[in-house]
Amino acid sequence: MKPHIQATALACTASLLLAACSNSPGLPDARTSPPARAWLAPDEQPASQAQTAAVMQTGDWWTTFRCATLDHWMSEADNHNADLETARQRLAEARHALAAQRGGLLPQVSLDAMAGRQKYGAALFGPAQFTIPPFSWYEAGPAIAWTPDFSGAIHQAIARRQALAEYQARNLDALRLEIQASIALTALDYAAGLDALAAAQQQADTDRDAVALVHQTRAAGEATRQETLDAEAQWTHDRERIPGLQQQVASSRHLLAILLGKPPAVWQPPRLSLNDFSLPESPPASLPSQLAQQRPDILVAAANLHAAAAEAGMAKAAMYPQVTLSANWMQEALSPAGLFNLSNDAWAIAAGISAPLFDGGALREHHRAAEHAWQAARSQYRQTVLQAFGQIADALTALDHDRQTLALADDEVRNAAAGLELTQTRQHAGTVARPALLRAQHAIAQAQLQRTQARMQQAQDYVRLAVALGGTAAAPNRVSAQR
Asked whether 21 and 309 are in contact (CB, 8 A), the reply is: no
More confident residue, 195 or 286: 195
Q: How is the chain split into domains, by residue range?
A: 25-106+150-320+362-480
**For residue 18, pLDDT beyond 90:** no
More confident residue, 1 or 251: 251
Please report how many Cα atoms fall inside a 13 Å half-sphere around the Cα of residue 371, on the Cβ side: 12
Mean pLDDT within 449-478? 77
Q: Which CATH architecture has domain 25-106+150-320+362-480?
A: Up-down Bundle (1.20)
* Radius of gyration of the chain measured on its C-alpha atoms: 38
Asked whether 398 and 461 are in contact (CB, 8 A), the reply is: yes
Distance of alpha carbon 325 from alpha carbon 329, whole angstroms:
14
Q: What is the pTM of this model?
A: 0.74
Say how many residues make up the chain: 483
Mean pLDDT within 215-221? 77
DSSP one-letter code for 42: G
% of the chain surpassing 90 pLDDT? 20
Per-residue model confidence as pLDDT tens digits over 19-34: 333 333 344 444 455 5
Mean pLDDT within 410-433? 76
Q: Specify the pLDDT at position 58.
A: 60
Per-residue model confidence as pLDDT tens digits over 313-329: 888 888 888 888 888 88
Task: Identify the CA nearest to 396 among candidates 291, 277, 252.
Answer: 291
Output phi, psi for 107, to 5 deg.
-60, 145
DSSP one-letter code for 164: H
